[in-house]
Amino acid sequence: MMKKIVIVGPESTGKSTLSQELSDHYANQYATAWVPEYAREYLDNLGRPYTYEDLLVIAKGQLEAEEKTALALAEAAGDQASILFIDTDMMVMQIWSEFVFQKCDPFILNEVASRSYDHYLLMQTDLPWTYDKLREYPDLENRERLFKHYYDILQRQNTSWSLISGIGPERSKAAIRVIDKLLAS
């Protein structure tokens, strides 16, 4: 059986790093894989500022990457238990779209409502913001506003979730403690 764990939160909170670390950590006990954030690949090759319409393309690319990775993991795992770590999902696309453009494509909203995951890890904004040409909001005020948006959505949905904080190895250890409890239940 495959567990799907999604890592969400504002930019520069360690989602990609944690996704890969968790996949590596559990690889000795489970078949694991992680789905990178498709937006990075797309925006790196865009050659212009992104638009509202680009977010739908990014969302579909993210879903395709998730489906392909899940299928490959299921085939590789066979009867072995597996864990798929997902760096960014449709909730992230919804929040980003609403934050930047004050609207969200119905396709993304439908995917948010219809997709099923086992657990969310919400990344706290306690990491220092790190420059990256794709990042837009270095100020703590906007990062906190984004965080609150994630928090509010997670409070209103049915999937279990946990808040992850800490610097360096403490962040990974916090996530591992949460996942170990999830796997033991």
* Predicted confidence (pLDDT) per residue in 10-38, tens digit: 988 999 999 999 999 999 999 999 999 99
| Mean pLDDT computed over every residue of the chain | 93
pTM for the predicted model, two decimal places: 0.94
pLDDT at 18: 96
pLDDT at 136: 72
Model pLDDT for residues 44-98, shown as the tens digit of each residue? 999 899 999 999 999 999 999 999 999 999 999 999 999 999 999 999 999 999 9
For 118-152, b/e burial (b = at least 16 CB within 10 A) is bbbbbbbbebebeeeeeeebeeeeebeebbebbee
Asked if residue 34 lies in contact with residue 16, where contact means CB atoms within 8 angstroms, the answer is no
pLDDT at 22: 97
| Separation in Å, CA 78 to CA 73, 127, 152 | 9, 38, 37
| Separation in Å, CA 48 to CA 40, 51, 65, 131, 136 | 14, 9, 23, 19, 15
pLDDT at 99: 94
pLDDT confidence band for 142 (50 / 70 / 90): confident
pLDDT at 137: 67
- Rg from Cα positions in the chain: 16
| Separation in Å, CA 19 to CA 4, 103, 104, 105, 142 | 12, 28, 26, 27, 23
Max Cα separation, the chain? Answer: 47
pLDDT at 185: 84
Distance CA 115, CA 126 (A): 29
Domains of the chain: 2-184 (3.40.50.300)
Whole-number percent of the chain with pLDDT over 70: 96
Strands 82-87 and 2-8: parallel
Instruction: Give me the numbers of helices (H) and strands (E) for the chain, helices first please.
Output: 7, 5
pLDDT confidence band for 135 (50 / 70 / 90): low
Closest of 94, 76, 73, 92 to residue 84, by C-alpha = 73
